[in-house]
Amino acid sequence: MIGRILGNRYEIIEKIGGGGMSNVYKAKCKVLNRFVAIKILRDELTQDPEFIDKFKQESLSAASLTHPNIVNIYDTGIEGDIYYIVMEYVKGETLKNYIKRKGRLSEQEALRISKQVGEALKHAHTNNIVHRDIKPHNILLTEDGTAKVTDFGIARAATSSTINNTSNVIGSVHYFSPEQARGGYVDDKSDIYSLGIVMYEMITGVLPFDADNHISVAMKQIQEKPVLPSMKVKNINITKSYEDIIMKCLEKHQSFRFKNIDELLKKLDSINGNIEQPKKTEEEIIDSPTVVIPAITGLEEENVINIDLVDENSDKAFKSFFGGEVDTEKQVETKKNNNNNNKKITIAAIISALVIALIGGVIGFKALMYVPEVPVPDLLGRSEAEAEDLIEGLGLGFKVSKREFSDEYDQGQIMEQSVDEGSKVKENYPIEVVVSKGAKEYMVPDLIGKYAIEAGFILKDAGLSEGDVKEENSEKFSAGQIIDQFPTSNSPAKENDKVNYVVSIGPKITYVKMPSVLNLNLETASLSITQHGLTVGEVNTEPSEDIAEGLVMRQSINPNQDVEIGTS
């Protein structure tokens, strides 16, 4: 599609998205010289005439919506077998990606987005348009944080005609209202329910209902009451007012929800949002922060203790400690000159000793702290026991971080290591490895009796994919049920192997020619009808001047007309 020009004005530049219903491209409008987004329907949807008719009708309705929180539709067109919609190009990201990136949103931010989506729905509902597929994937956030709702047209057209033959609508089952999951009546309160799930996901970062397959999720939407957001995730910061609004949106019965989107908006406007207090950073909670203190002045000289290592008293202390006699006052006087020389020698000796001790201490500390480095060997393909012996023999630590399936490595072999071969690490450094569980075994599930709408999900959950699908008549299975499959159930398979299956289209219909029973008596006419595989219907009597009494004068189905066997 890249480089193709649609409608003689839209040049396709690049693919920017896609889903189960369509692919989205960025294009340049050569007439107005602006960028647009073009949504092109997938080929399988264009084969359904009913879908195409509704798509055209709803696209026109959606194009009439003009609102700052709705992605504007500029144009629609058909070129060969390509059906496309030209929309406003929004530079930003989907709300789904935004939630994934942030984990969960603050109440204040969730409120802001909820109100903007609510305003978009209010405008649509005022124009008698129900979206039917509100989900974070269909909410775009511009670079300035404005929320814009998209996919109004496709959602409504798809709901009525593709539920039984595609998985696209079911793909949104996590956001479906209970009435949508049941296939019941859908109105603006269904959009309120879906918006409630979006609000729930924004504030918690998770969905209220999830399961291994889409059918189970749909059943939870119908039967289970959602857990309160404050109970779903620990340490969540949400006001009771906002939580109550979300839970009212998620009521199972439509009449228990907000009566319309306007009532919901008024409730949202009545709360301000719970503003989270900023957490202190590591720099703000340092035990001993650097502070400025005033200079300390005013100390008297006599109040300062003077420690002199070379005064007379210290010399006496040295002699006393080492057992020498303390000189008398007279001896001190006679040896005063010698003591002065000894003091200088003593000072030099002490300083030298300190320097030598310092150098020796540094060298000793380095020797004590030195840890030799060891090159890491290649462990890939080795057995777990061999790798462990090798690593521990080098004085390193060995740890199995996880075990995973692998088509490349046999069971028990090392398939990944945390440190590359040849890298040098300190002794006792832990080397983490991933051990292979061998090739994953896949078994073909039993599809017989299942409905075709389930087959894709069942096979995907089993790691397989759909193959050729055929249709045949069946007296035993209802239309839509699977009556045969290949490979058969419990057969071994490889990942993404295709499974072919046959879908029932109901009993085979046999046609017969309607016999003529005119001018026959009732008994003979009834016998002729039953002999042709038909049944006698209502018998009425009327007066006639032309036909004798007791004879058939008129029949409801003309003679020689093809009718289904068993018709009365």
Per residue, the 3-state secondary structure of 255-322, as one string, reads HHCCCCHHHHHHHHHCCCCCCCCCCCCHHHHCCCCCCCCCCCCCCCHHHCCCCCCCCHHHHHHHHHHC
In sequence order, what are the beta bridge partners of 29? Answer: 10, 34
pLDDT of residue 479: 83
Residues 126 and 14 in one domain: no
Is residue 408 one of the residues assigned to a domain?
A: yes
Both tokens of 515, joined, read 């016999």
Report residue 332's pLDDT band, with 50, 70 and 90 as the boundaries.
very low
Is residue 313 one of the residues assigned to a domain?
A: no
Mean pLDDT in residue range 112-120 = 96
Q: Is the predicted pLDDT of residue 350 greater than 60, yes or no?
A: yes
User: Each residue of 19-66: pLDDT tens digit?
Assistant: 667 789 999 999 999 999 998 888 877 787 777 776 676 677 678 889
Is residue 311 one of the residues assigned to a domain?
A: no
Report residue 364's pLDDT band, with 50, 70 and 90 as the boundaries.
low
Q: Is the predicted pLDDT of residue 433 greater than 50, yes or no?
A: yes
Residues 113 and 244 in one domain: yes
In sequence order, what are the beta bridge partners of 424? Answer: 375
Residues 164 and 263 in one domain: yes
**177: domain CATH number?**
1.10.510.10
Q: Which helix (H) or strand (E) covers residue 432, if one does?
A: strand 430-436
Mean of pLDDT over the chain: 80
Q: Is the predicted pLDDT of residue 335 greater than 60, yes or no?
A: no
Q: From CA 271, how far away is CA 105, in angstroms rounded?
A: 16
Sign of CA dihedral 406, 409, 414, 415: negative
In sequence order, what are the beta bridge partners of 443? Answer: 492
Q: Is the predicted pLDDT of residue 298 greater than 80, yes or no?
A: no
Is residue 493 one of the residues assigned to a domain?
A: yes
Residues 174 and 235 in one domain: yes
- The domain in which residue 555 lies consists of 509-568
Q: From CA 350, how far away is CA 356, in angstroms rounded?
A: 10
Mean pLDDT in residue range 281-286 = 32
Options 133, 188, 191, 315, the catalytic residue = 133
CA dihedral 125, 131, 135, 139 (to 10 degrees): -70
User: Each residue of 546-556: pLDDT tens digit?
Assistant: 888 889 888 98
Residue 532, Cβ neighbours under 10 Å: how many?
15
Report residue 337's pLDDT band, with 50, 70 and 90 as the boundaries.
low
With H, G, I as helix, E, B as strand and everything else as coil, classify residue 130: coil
The residue from 504, 525, 551 where one domain ends is: 504
pLDDT of residue 154: 54
Q: From CA 472, how far away is CA 506, in angstroms rounded?
A: 8
205: Cβ–Cβ under 8 A, 6 or more apart, which residues?
99, 103, 104, 233
Task: Specify the number of domains making up the chain.
Answer: 5
Is residue 22 one of the residues assigned to a domain?
A: yes
Residue in the block written with tokens 């070379």: 310
Mean pLDDT in residue range 518-533 = 90
User: Each residue of 86-100: pLDDT tens digit?
Assistant: 999 999 999 999 999
Q: Is the predicted pLDDT of residue 447 greater than 90, yes or no?
A: yes
Residue in the block written with tokens 């599930």: 445
Residues 147 and 262 in one domain: yes
pLDDT of residue 451: 87
Active site residue 461: no
pLDDT of residue 243: 95
With H, G, I as helix, E, B as strand and everything else as coil, classify residue 535: coil
Mean pLDDT in residue range 435-457 = 89
Higher pLDDT, 385 or 322: 385
Burial code of 102-135, b = ≥16 C-beta within 10 A, e = fewer?
Answer: eebbbbebbbbbbbbbbbbbbbbbeeebbbbbbb
Least confident of 125-139, 209-223, 288-302, 492-506: 288-302
Residues 482 and 381 in one domain: no
Residues 129 and 263 in one domain: yes
Residues 379 and 414 in one domain: yes
Residues 130 and 259 in one domain: yes
pLDDT of residue 170: 36
Q: Compute the C-alpha angle 65/69/70, nearest 5°.
A: 35
User: Each residue of 127-178: pLDDT tens digit?
Assistant: 888 888 899 999 999 999 999 998 875 555 444 433 333 333 434 789 989 9
The residue from 436, 470, 488 where one domain ends is: 436
DSSP state of 470: E
Give Cα separations from 285 to 280, 291, 293 (angstroms).
Answer: 7, 14, 19
Is residue 37 one of the residues assigned to a domain?
A: yes
Q: From CA 105, how far away is CA 146, in angstroms rounded?
A: 15
Q: Is the predicted pLDDT of residue 316 greater than 70, yes or no?
A: no
First to last CA, the chain: 55
Both tokens of 31, joined, read 């007439």
* Closest by CA position to 536, among listed 544, 525, 546: 525
Residues 81 and 194 in one domain: no
Is residue 340 one of the residues assigned to a domain?
A: no
pLDDT of residue 422: 84
* Closest by CA position to 218, among listed 176, 186, 166, 249: 176
Contact (Cβ atoms closer than 8 angstroms) between residue 153 and residue 129: no
Burial code of 164-178, b = ≥16 C-beta within 10 A, e = fewer?
Answer: eebbbbbbbbbbbbb
Instruction: Give me the half-sphere count of Cα atoms (radius 13 Å) on the Cβ side of residue 342.
Output: 12
**520: domain CATH number?**
3.30.10
**462: domain CATH number?**
3.30.10.20
pLDDT of residue 90: 92
Both tokens of 322, joined, read 């080492």
Q: Compute the C-alpha angle 72/104/284, nearest 5°.
A: 125
With H, G, I as helix, E, B as strand and everything else as coil, classify residue 459: helix
Share of the chain above pLDDT 90, in %: 40
Listing DSSP states for 336-351 in one string gives: HHHHHHHHHHHHHHHH
Residues 12 and 158 in one domain: no
CA dihedral 119, 124, 126, 129 (to 10 degrees): -150
Q: From CA 430, how far away is CA 399, in angstroms rounded?
A: 7
Residues 520 and 560 in one domain: yes
Report residue 321's pLDDT band, with 50, 70 and 90 as the boundaries.
very low
Burial code of 337-356, b = ≥16 C-beta within 10 A, e = fewer?
Answer: eeeeeebeebeeeeeeeeee
The residue from 407, 436, 465 where one domain ends is: 436
In sequence order, what are the beta bridge partners of 502? Answer: 470, 484
Mean pLDDT in residue range 311-337 = 43
Higher pLDDT, 113 or 163: 113
pLDDT of residue 312: 42
Report residue 384's pLDDT band, with 50, 70 and 90 as the boundaries.
very high
pLDDT of residue 204: 96
Largest CA distance in the chain: 177
With H, G, I as helix, E, B as strand and everything else as coil, classify residue 544: coil
Contact (Cβ atoms closer than 8 angstroms) between residue 159 and residue 134: no
Is residue 72 one of the residues assigned to a domain?
A: yes
Report residue 341's pLDDT band, with 50, 70 and 90 as the boundaries.
low
**70: domain CATH number?**
3.30.200.20
SS3 content of the chain, % helix, strand, coil (to 5): 35, 20, 45
pLDDT of residue 173: 87
